[in-house]
A = this chain, B = another copy of it.
Amino acid sequence: MDGRIVRIAELDIDPAQLAAYRRLLAEEIEASVDNEPGVLMLHAVSEKERPERIRILEVYANRDAYDAHLQTPHFLKYKAGTADMVKGLKLVDADPVMMRGKTLDQRHELG
């Protein structure tokens, strides 16, 4: 392996604040992937049957990239802004089996 960090975050959100949470998360993901070279992928979905249950597939280039991510203004804003919305958070470390999307470039990055 090449030091990449792959993880699934599982979050339970206060249903009363779900719309606000989704906005803050979407904003944070856009800022991270657009501005941080080492944030390779953030794919966040909500379960259809339990929309307050959020899962995020995260890929970072390496540990340094992840540590740097935690200190960025956009991440700190997300973390502070959502602190009282997040009722549960579980982080599941993972290894890729095969990750493919439609784009050649991404295939080379993550395949």
**Interface set of A (CB-CB < 8 Å, partner B):** 6, 8, 22, 25-26, 29-30, 32-34, 40-49, 51, 54-55, 57, 92-103, 105-107, 109-110
Contact = CB atoms under 8 A, between A and B. Distances in A.
Q: Which residue, of A42, A49, A103, A107, has the highest number of chain B Cβ atoms within 10 A?
A: A103
Quickly give the copy total for this chain: 2
A57 B110 CA distance: 14
Contact of A46 (B26, B42, B94, B103): B94
Looking at A29, A96, A106, A110, the one whose CB has the most chain B CB atoms below 10 A away is: A106
B25 A94 contact: no
A31 B33 CA distance: 27
Contacts of A34: 100
